């Protein structure tokens, strides 16, 4: 393996000891520098294409964690903006990062990122419940993590918020929108069946209180062909006696209170109509 191949394995930038584990010698490093490999600091080597943010991460001996490590681990995440979330043995008083403490498991052997378990634990302790929920449920849903594993590592009163989030974890969601909408509705006391199958239609995202179907759409610019398909699915569902509502990313992520209020109002009218029908039947008996 040559220096460029090793650096690619490391994400574009690495310290000399990490490259040595790939069998890279000092002579190879000197030759690589003469050939165009960057040396942004002593003992650090980087490809020309390596992002400056990654170089700074290695220079500062930091490891990505929490939401900043979500892309590396392939986790759902609502918001990647804001300062980097990092683990660092010493924070050096830096105020341009969100610092996370100790690690339970070894970090990645040649990338500046902590283990999946530590990413999730840091997220549960740090982020708003919606953001940590989708990250954890993504990992649990694909079988890379379990709730009991995390619960065992979150003891004591200081981890009460994190354990509460774990109570809402479920499996089978197709997207972070489904996870969030399902949880918002359940927290409001609504009975929710995810991935409900309707004959002739297929699986619908959520069934609420046995009759209200909710479909979720994360697309920003819908294609007309897909829009027509969605409308046909809605029509077939209505023909079978269901009511259908459709919500989008902005509804679920940024305006969830209005979404839940709208659903509760509709469910309330449905219950009132059912009670009125029952009273009418009794009156004519």
DSSP string, 30-47: HHHHHTT-EEEETTEEE-
Length reported for the chain: 285
Contact 127, 159 (CB under 8 A): no
Any residues with CB less than 8 A from the CB of 177 and at least 6 apart, and which?
216, 217, 218, 247, 249, 252, 253
Q: Is the pLDDT of residue 242 over 50?
A: yes
Domain ranges of the chain: 1-59, 60-169, 176-283
pTM of the model: 0.87
What value does the mean pLDDT take over residues 36-40?
95
What is the pLDDT averaged over residues 59-67?
95
Residues with Cβ within 8 Å of 20's Cβ and at least 6 positions away in sequence, in order, are none
100 strand-pairing partners: 87
Q: pLDDT digit string (tens) for 213-241?
A: 999 987 654 565 666 666 677 766 766 66
Identify the pLDDT of residue 272.
54
Q: Which CATH superfamily is domain 176-283 in?
A: VSR Endonuclease (3.40.960.10)
Phi-psi region of 123 (alpha: psi -120 to 50; beta: other; left: phi over 0): alpha
pLDDT digits (tens, 9 = 90+) for 154-180: 999 999 999 999 999 998 899 999 999
Query: What pLDDT is stored for residue 101 in this prediction?
Result: 87
């Amino acid at each position: 393996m040559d220096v460029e191949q090793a650096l690619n394995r490391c994400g574009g930038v690495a310290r000399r000891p990490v490259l040595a584990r790939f069998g890279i010698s000092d002579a190879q490093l000197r030759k690589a520098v003469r050939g165009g490999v960057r040396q942004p600091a002593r003992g650090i080597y980087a490809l020309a294409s390596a992002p400056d943010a990654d170089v700074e991460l290695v220079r500062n001996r930091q490891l990505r964690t929490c939401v900043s490590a979500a892309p590396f681990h392939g986790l759902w995440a609502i918001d990647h903006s804001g300062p980097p979330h990092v683990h660092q043995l010493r924070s050096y008083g830096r105020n341009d990062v969100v610092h996370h403490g100790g690690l339970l498991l070894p970090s990645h052997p040649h990338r500046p990122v902590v283990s999946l378990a530590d990413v999730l634990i840091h997220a549960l302790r740090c982020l708003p419940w919606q953001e940590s929920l989708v990250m954890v449920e993504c990992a649990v849903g694909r079988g890379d993590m379990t709730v009991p594993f995390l619960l065992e590592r979150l003891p004591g009163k200081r981890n009460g918020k994190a354990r509460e989030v774990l109570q809402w974890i479920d499996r089978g969601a197709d997207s972070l929108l489904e996870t969030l909408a399902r949880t918002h509705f359940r927290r409001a006391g609504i009975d929710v069946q995810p991935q409900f199958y309707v004959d002739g239609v297929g699986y619908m995202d959520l069934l609420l209180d046995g009759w209200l179907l909710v479909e979720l759409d994360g697309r920003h610019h819908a294609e007309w062909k897909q829009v027509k398909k969605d409308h046909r699915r809605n029509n077939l569902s209505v023909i079978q006696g269901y009511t259908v509502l459709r919500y989008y990313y902005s509804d679920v992520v940024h305006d969830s209170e209005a979404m839940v209020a709208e659903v509760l109002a509709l469910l309330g009218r449905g219950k009132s109509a059912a009670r009125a029908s029952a009273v009418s039947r009794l009156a004519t008996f």
